[in-house]
């Protein structure tokens, strides 16, 4: 099994260590997310504003600090940096465990998110130094599979731990997970030599020249620019309605005990989607077209769910769960090609800067959208927000797909004229 298909990169010792660390790091992140919300909403009895402040503080470092600090990520030894980040995360998780009030909790949430905003660009960069170009699609798919799987396992495990051992117990398991991730990274072979040789060939410019070089690369590489813009707009639309999904579930007839089924259906679909993309990798020839097509079909399913919430369309609960599952599959059909384009279209020595800048744009969309979604929900109602999001997603996909088809047609015409 490990000799073919999506598991090919795991034959590589360096990537195996990196992937092992990612699995435990991703699990820790989702244990954390559940625990913080339970403490704020249930343990301290605080309201929506407190939860919103947690989410904003969680996202700010990715928007502001990550892109600036990523210049140093590209210059520093990656293995040492990643291990240091994980050890700091253990320290900040201890701070979350002992936080007596919301203000102290937010301080440690911010510090932990700042370290995570350094860790992820370094991890993205290391992938390029550990995996040959022809195995990049599989490596990116495995990475996405870890994220999607932990989105399912993490919240379920977090809820179970809280029920068994108390509200703060997930932090202990999270810290243990980060320490296990450190052990995996200790086994990461020395890859800095190649990175350093590559960086020595490139003149060390000033900080701001280095920083702007990453931004310039994004906007001067057509396929990378298209992938980042498409994914950032898609993220904005998703997060318009994401925070309202619990109210949509109520309108579709799901009780509070059944809401988890709907969320798990999306997560399960995203795992299946990643597995399918790992098995058949021909999409790497046209990654933007796949992202656009996935957006187009996602729009149809979001629209149908919106019509269901408006009671225009009626389906049994299994029907809505199937729709949520297919949304998850299509989500992977956007996320995996995006990760591949980011890796394949970025030079190794710029990976940290480019991935952090891309993440900054996406996170900014994710931070702005929930407030816009809540405002729209008050003005036009939750159902119409979902209907509007579905139409916007459909037209985004249709526009991007027609644009890529037109470009391909023009390219073929020029080639015919040249020959």
Cβ(162)–Cβ(35) below 8 Å: yes
Same domain as 247, residue 135: no
pLDDT-based confidence at 3, cuts 50/70/90? very low
User: Of 162, 183, 201, which marks where a domain is finished?
Assistant: 201
Q: How far apart are CA 245 and CA 297, in angstroms?
A: 19
415: pLDDT strictly greater than 70:
no
Domain closes at, from 154, 176, 201: 201
Give the end of a domain, one of 201, 221, 238.
201
Contact of 361 with 232, CB cutoff 8 Å:
yes
Are residue 216 and residue 237 in the same domain, yes or no?
yes
pLDDT for the residue 284? 83
* 242 and 97 within one domain: no
Give the Å distances, CA to CA, from 403 to 223, 237, 391: 12, 20, 18
Token reading at 152: 């399912």
Same domain, 17 and 70: yes
The string of DSSP codes covering 270-282 is HHHHHHHHHH--G
Residue 118 tokens, joined: 């350094």
Q: For residue 275, is pLDDT > 60?
A: yes
Question: DSSP of 225-256, one letter per residue?
Answer: HHHHHHHHHHHHHHHHHHTTHHHHHHHTT--T
Cβ neighbours of 369 (radius 10 Å): 20
Instruction: Decide if 337 contacts 231 (C-beta within 8 A).
Output: no
Region of residue 280 (left: phi > 0; alpha: psi -120 to 50; beta: else): beta
The number of distinct structural domains making up the chain is 2
- The verdict on 196 and 275 lying in the same domain is no
Q: Are residues 197 and 208 in the same domain?
A: no
Q: Which of the residue ranges 108-112, 284-288, 347-351 would you say has the lowest mean pLDDT?
A: 347-351
Indicate whether this model's pTM tops 0.75. Answer: no
Instruction: Give yes or no for a contact between 210 and 76, defined as CB atoms under 8 angstroms apart.
Output: no
Q: What CATH number has the domain bearing residue 296?
A: 1.20.1250.20
What is the residue range of 210's domain? 203-419
* The predicted structure's pLDDT at residue 1: 41
Q: What is the pLDDT of residue 2?
A: 44
Residue 211 sits in the same domain as residue 353: yes
Q: By C-alpha distance, which of 297, 309, 282 is closest to 141? A: 282
Instruction: Note whether 101 and 151 are same-domain residues.
Output: yes
Residues 148 and 209 in one domain: no
Considering the domain architecture, whether residues 226 and 308 belong to the same structural domain is answered as: yes
């Amino acid at each position: 099994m490990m000799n073919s298909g999506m598991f090919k990169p795991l034959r590589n010792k360096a990537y195996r260590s990196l992937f092992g660390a990612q699995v435990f790091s991703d699990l820790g992140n989702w244990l954390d997310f559940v625990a913080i919300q339970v403490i704020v909403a249930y343990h301290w009895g605080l309201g929506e504003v407190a939860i919103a402040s947690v989410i904003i503080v969680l996202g700010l470092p990715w928007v502001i600090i990550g892109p600036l600090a990523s210049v140093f990520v590209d210059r520093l030894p990656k293995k040492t940096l990643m291990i240091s980040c994980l050890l700091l995360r253990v320290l900040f998780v201890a701070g979350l465990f002992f936080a007596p009030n919301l203000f102290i909790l937010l301080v440690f949430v911010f510090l932990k998110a700042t370290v995570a905003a350094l860790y992820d660009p370094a991890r993205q960069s290391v992938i390029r130094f550990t995996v040959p170009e022809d195995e990049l699609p599989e490596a990116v798919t495995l990475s996405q599979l870890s994220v999607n799987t932990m989105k399912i396992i993490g919240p379920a495990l977090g809820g179970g731990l809280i029920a068994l051992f108390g509200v703060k117990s997930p932090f202990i398991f999270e810290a243990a997970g980060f320490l296990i991730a450190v052990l995996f990274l200790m086994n990461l072979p020395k890859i800095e030599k190649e990175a350093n040789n590559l960086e020595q060939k490139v003149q060390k410019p000033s900080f701001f020249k280095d920083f702007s070089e990453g931004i310039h690369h994004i906007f001067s590489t057509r396929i990378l620019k298209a992938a980042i813009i498409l994914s950032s707009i898609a993220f904005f639309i998703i997060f318009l309605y994401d925070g309202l999904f619990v109210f949509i579930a109520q309108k579709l007839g799901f009780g509070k005990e059944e809401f988890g089924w709907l969320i798990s259906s999306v997560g399960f679909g995203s795992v299946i989607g990643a597995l399918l993309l790992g098995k058949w990798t021909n999409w790497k020839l046209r990654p933007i077209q796949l992202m656009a097509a996935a957006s187009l079909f996602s729009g149809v399913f979001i629209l149908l769910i919106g019509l269901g919430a408006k009671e225009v369309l009626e389906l049994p609960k299994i029907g809505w769960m199937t729709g949520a599952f297919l949304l998850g599959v299509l989500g992977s059909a956007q996320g995996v090609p995006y990760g591949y384009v980011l890796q394949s279209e970025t030079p190794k020595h710029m990976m940290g800067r480019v991935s952090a800048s891309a993440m900054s744009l996406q996170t900014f969309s994710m931070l702005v959208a929930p407030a816009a979604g809540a405002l729209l929900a008050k003005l036009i109602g939750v159902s119409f927000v979902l209907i509007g999001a579905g139409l916007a997603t459909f037209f985004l996909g249709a526009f991007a797909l027609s644009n890529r088809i037109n470009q391909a047609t023009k390219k073929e015409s020029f080639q015919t004229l040249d020959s």
